[in-house]
Amino acid sequence: MDATENTSAVPRPTAPRAARTVPVLIVGGGPVGLALAAELGWRGVGCELVEQSDGAITTPKMNEVNTRTMEFCRRWGIADAVRQCPFPDDHPLDVVFVTSLAGYELARMRRPPRGQQHAGGDSPERMQICSQIWFDPILRNFAQGQPGVTLRHRTRLQSFAAAADGVTAELHDLDSGRCETINADYLVGCDGATSAIRDAIGVALTGQGTLGHPLHLFFRAPDLLERCGREPGVFFLAIDRHGLWANIRVVDPANGLWRLMALETDGKQTPESVDRAALLQRAIGRPIDVQWQGVSIWTRRSVVAERYGQGRVFLAGDAVHQLSPTGALGMNTGIGDAVDLGWKLAAVLQGWGGARLLASYDAERRPIGLRNVAMATEFHFAHGEFRGGTAAIEDDSDAGRALRARLGASLARDVGRMFRTAGLQLGYRYEASPICVADGTPPTPDDPEAFVPSARPGSRAPHAWLADGRSTLDLFSRGFVLLRFAAPDTAALEQAARTRGVQLGVVDVDDPAAAALYERRLVLVRPDGHVAWRGDTIPVDAAALIDRVRGAA
């Protein structure tokens, strides 16, 4: 990252203007930077986000907004907007294993259309299919509607200097060529996989590294499924006589936008050298006319940063974890980072966060990065078991049918795991967090597939429907919330919170099912919806408890 790193189309930077100060400077307007701006703005904390592109999404990556991210959207008040995105309500979300789109079907994992889904027992929300082409603008509109949030496109962070009391950054307006120096209390790099901020603070990535070089072909083909005689679905995995080699996803059914992903290239191809017609014919199983929209070759990685920041500089999203899209965890993990970091930055800037609060960001989120990267990598390697091919898979014979049935069952069991991730989405917990008070109970199993709700400190406070139709999650807001399942005297804790400027709401819950789920008469829930402490009575030293959970102990 330096002042000479411009493309020739970009005007040369001019001399810096006088500095102004913002509380938080966010670099990168991908979904994670936007989520952080949203979280900060929602908490009343000013921030400026700079994004070097114009914000247009030319090659959308993510499609699945998982259940936990939907819960965050619910808190922000934008869950309905995500649900109402243009993905049709009646389009089945089935995952289907095929020899080709027009070929044989080996197995089908049925997932009902959005319009027929009901919230499950574990969450008031469900995973939503909402391509980045719609999701990023929803986040962007919400973020820029918050007072104190400024989003600036075509603006690049050119360089920065971090000191003990703040960060000075040089920004380059790519349209005018003007440079500006800006002071920030904190800098957050949401600048993606090639994060220059990460490099500048000397943070290395560790892990298995590069796993491959998949290829994306985007095309428009209205009525493709009808033309192939295929029952609708959303994600088709192609396994032919040469093995499992591709997936085909409908991104925008109403407009016939599709993405074909060839799982592997030789690493030497370029978008220009790719024989896209041959790949398409192999995936569809017959010649078909399409309108080409774009080609990209990207790198599949399995890495996590050794640190999530340094001093007043923090990193979030792909800047600190890069994982295979198998399991749809990339952005969703990054949004978890943004929410965790967001409330902590707000607490410190608003004066009630303790000196150790920000350090807990790394302690809490890095283990989740490691967990999710490991799981996504495992899902990716499950594909490898089916790379070897056999010609009989395409035989119109009893033997061919038997082989397809056998393979289909194995594929749905092994590769299909990446679509059964309730535990991964909701079951992450902040073990050994310095700002949660362990209660000595053993951890529930961290099973990727099966979610086991728990109110054990560090866990996401579990969901239960209340008599008035709200979820317990709707009781949580910007501050801490003390859930009272009986009415012990909590005045000492309330007083301790007040004297430290910590916002603490007290909510009486008269609901036996919720009481059984939470297991204690008192449960203290953090501003991000995780349990900080639970017990049956207020501890003798209530002030020490408040200091612990606000990072001042």
Q: Which of residues 508-537 bind ligand FAD (CB under 6 A)?
A: none
Q: At what angle are helices 330-349 and 67-76 packed, to 10 degrees?
A: 40
> How many whole angstroms separate alpha carbon 233 and alpha carbon 247?
12
Nearer to ligand FAD, 156 or 456 (CB): 156
Q: Does 157 bind ligand FAD (CB under 6 A)?
A: yes
Q: Does 64 bind ligand FAD (CB under 6 A)?
A: yes
Q: Which of 144, 128, 137, 114 is nearest to 74 (CA)?
A: 128
Q: Smallest distance, Å, CB 68 to ligand FAD?
A: 10
Q: Smallest distance, Å, CB 283 to ligand FAD?
A: 15
> How many whole angstroms separate alpha carbon 404 and alpha carbon 99?
9
Do residues 343 and 350 touch, judged by C-beta distance below 8 A?
no
Nearer to ligand FAD, 71 or 318 (CB): 318
Nearer to ligand FAD, 47 or 524 (CB): 47
Cβ within 8 Å of residue 33, ≥6 positions away:
26, 27, 49, 51, 188, 190, 191, 316, 317, 338
Nearer to ligand FAD, 157 or 162 (CB): 157
The count of residues interacting with ligand FAD (CB under 6 A) is 31
Q: Smallest distance, Å, CB 197 to ligand FAD?
A: 7
> How many whole angstroms separate alpha carbon 83 and alpha carbon 94?
18
Nearer to ligand FAD, 126 or 456 (CB): 126
Q: Does 61 bind ligand FAD (CB under 6 A)?
A: yes
Q: Which of residues 8-27 bind ligand FAD (CB under 6 A)?
A: 27
Length of the chain, please? Answer: 553
Q: Smallest distance, Å, CB 313 to ligand FAD?
A: 13
Residue 404, phi then psi, degrees to nearest 5: -65, -40
In the shown chain, the binding pattern of residues 169 to 208 toward ligand FAD, with x for contact by CB under 6 A and - for none, equals ---------------------xxx---x------------
DSSP letters, 302-349, are EEEES-SEETTEEE-GGGTEE--STTS-HHHHHHHHHHHHHHHHHHHH
Q: Does 28 bind ligand FAD (CB under 6 A)?
A: yes
Q: Does 362 bind ligand FAD (CB under 6 A)?
A: no
For tokens 């560090």, the residue is 458
Q: Does 339 bind ligand FAD (CB under 6 A)?
A: no
Dihedral of the alpha carbons of 132, 244, 241, 251, in degrees to the nearest 10: -10
Q: From the list 13, 29, 408, 458, which residue makes contact with ligand FAD (rule: CB under 6 A)? A: 29
Do residues 151 and 22 touch, judged by C-beta distance below 8 A?
no
> How many whole angstroms separate alpha carbon 122 and alpha carbon 426?
8
Q: Which of 258, 271, 278 is nearest to 215 (CA)?
A: 271
Nearer to ligand FAD, 267 or 445 (CB): 267
Q: From the list 23, 31, 233, 408, which residue makes contact with ligand FAD (rule: CB under 6 A)? A: 31
Q: Does 62 bind ligand FAD (CB under 6 A)?
A: yes
Nearer to ligand FAD, 310 or 503 (CB): 310
Q: Smallest distance, Å, CB 372 to ligand FAD?
A: 10
Q: Identify the DSSP state of 350.
A: T
Q: Does 156 bind ligand FAD (CB under 6 A)?
A: yes
Q: From the list 332, 433, 459, 490, which residue makes contact with ligand FAD (rule: CB under 6 A)? A: 332
Q: Does 318 bind ligand FAD (CB under 6 A)?
A: yes
105-108: long-range contacts, CB 8 A cutoff, minimum separation 24: 105/230, 105/231, 105/408, 106/239, 106/404, 106/405, 106/407, 106/408, 106/411, 107/408, 107/409, 107/411, 107/412, 107/416, 108/231, 108/233
Question: Nearest-5° angle of CA 313, CA 318, CA 321?
Answer: 90
Q: Smallest distance, Å, CB 393 to ligand FAD?
A: 26
Nearer to ligand FAD, 317 or 527 (CB): 317
Q: Does 383 bind ligand FAD (CB under 6 A)?
A: no
> How many whole angstroms separate alpha carbon 518 and alpha carbon 123?
15
Rg over CA atoms, the chain: 25
Contacting range for ligand FAD; rule: CB under 6 A; set: 45-53, 80-88, 416-424, 461-469: 45-53
Nearer to ligand FAD, 297 or 509 (CB): 297
Q: Which of 65, 68, 64, 66 is nearest to 426 (CA)?
A: 68
> How many whole angstroms separate alpha carbon 532 and alpha carbon 497?
14
Q: Does 331 bind ligand FAD (CB under 6 A)?
A: yes
Q: From the list 63, 168, 433, 471, which residue makes contact with ligand FAD (rule: CB under 6 A)? A: 63
Q: Smallest distance, Å, CB 541 to ligand FAD?
A: 40
Q: Does 328 bind ligand FAD (CB under 6 A)?
A: yes
Q: Which of residues 242-301 bind ligand FAD (CB under 6 A)?
A: 298
Chain residues that interact with ligand FAD, rule: CB under 6 A: 27-33, 50-53, 61-64, 156-157, 190-192, 196, 298, 317-318, 325, 328-332, 334
